[in-house]
Homo-oligomer: A and B are copies of this chain.
Amino acid sequence: MSKRDKMMRAIIKPDRSPGLKLVDVPIPTPGPREALIKVAATSICGTDMHIFKWDPWAQSRILPPVIVGHEFCGQVVEVGEVVGEVKIGDFVSAESHIICHACTPCRTGRGHLCQNTQIIGVDRDGCWAEYIVMPAENLWINPSDMPLEVASLQENFGNAVHTAFAADVTARRVLVTGCGPVGLMAIMVAKAAGARTIYATDIANYRLHMARQMGADLALNVSEGNAYQAILDDTNGEGVDVLLEMSGAPQAIDLGFRLLRFGGEAALLGLAPSGIPFDINNHVVLKGATVHGIVGRELWATWYRMRGLLSSGLIDLTRVITHRFALDDYEKALRVMQSGQSGKVVMFPEGVRET
């Protein structure tokens, strides 16, 4: 195959310092159980920003050089010899967590809690490139008419779906703390699932504005007023049935649990600074609360849920996308993300496509 001789463009973390770099690297070769995918669209996640900025988490986890990026879609262009899951030409998205199938979580149907997970763009080469090799079992075949940018977003959408489905939101009052992209998508899910009322909090008005567009009934800036009292009043003093914590901010966690009603459910996705003060007595024990820690996406139950939400038209993910760039303009794209004035940002290796 002639592409073997060719090189591809890729965005890498070149060394142990801030920044990323566009380089030419060889197109990788799939192993027997892997597939090579030509990347059609790839989106930016908060994790990518950590790697870009080279923050302490990135310093502790990333071993440069590595191609970054873990949200994408594309077309299968080559398959290993024992691959049965996909065939050349399939339009696929991918589960970014490559699991071991051997640990206890893996062997009991909870692969999203695999203790040996390898994440693309973190622990091995990612998708901010023209091509990527993936284990065939990590691929999810999309309908051929799904917009590229929607297909790319599914991995991240899955975080929102996993979180929102951990609790029971239908006909209930739901509070979403944190209106970054995953929070915004969680609002969409709660709306699609028939939440009674959706409350949203953040510290950025740009995001709160988007939250309202996604379906939040009341979106409040916690730095501008008494969100606690406003939400308590709006629930007739009863509090919310469900907390979806998407921010990791200590104040948001505290606010969310204070507003949770007795016997309520909380699903926590946001990552907090370690060792924050937490009123475990009043927030959990005395409240008789049930709390769910959320990681990744259930394999593959979350993806089936996504299929239901997307194929039925209940959710239109393009509404959460605010910016589109060519992959080569990744620096502009990262700057937009950094500004906080964005929803999801999608990049296209072959230039921006209208979809």
Contact = CB atoms under 8 A, between A and B. Distances in A.
A192 interface: yes
B268 A280 contact: yes
A306 B194 CA distance: 12
A108 interface: yes
A51 to B, nearest CB: 18
A84 to B, nearest CB: 7
A314 interface: yes
Contact of A278 (B269, B277, B290, B314): B277
Interface of A is mostly: mixed
A277 B280 CA distance: 9
Instruction: Please state the number of chain copies in the assembly.
Output: 4
B274 A305 contact: no
A345 interface: no
A228 interface: no
B277 A308 contact: no
Given A274-B279, A280-B272, A290-B291, A110 B196 contact: no
Given A108-B304, A268-B280, A290-B290, A102 B115 contact: no
A308 B193 CA distance: 12
Interface of A: 84-85, 101-102, 104-105, 107-113, 115, 137, 165, 170-173, 192-197, 238, 248, 253, 261-263, 268-272, 274-282, 284-295, 298-301, 303-309, 311-312, 314
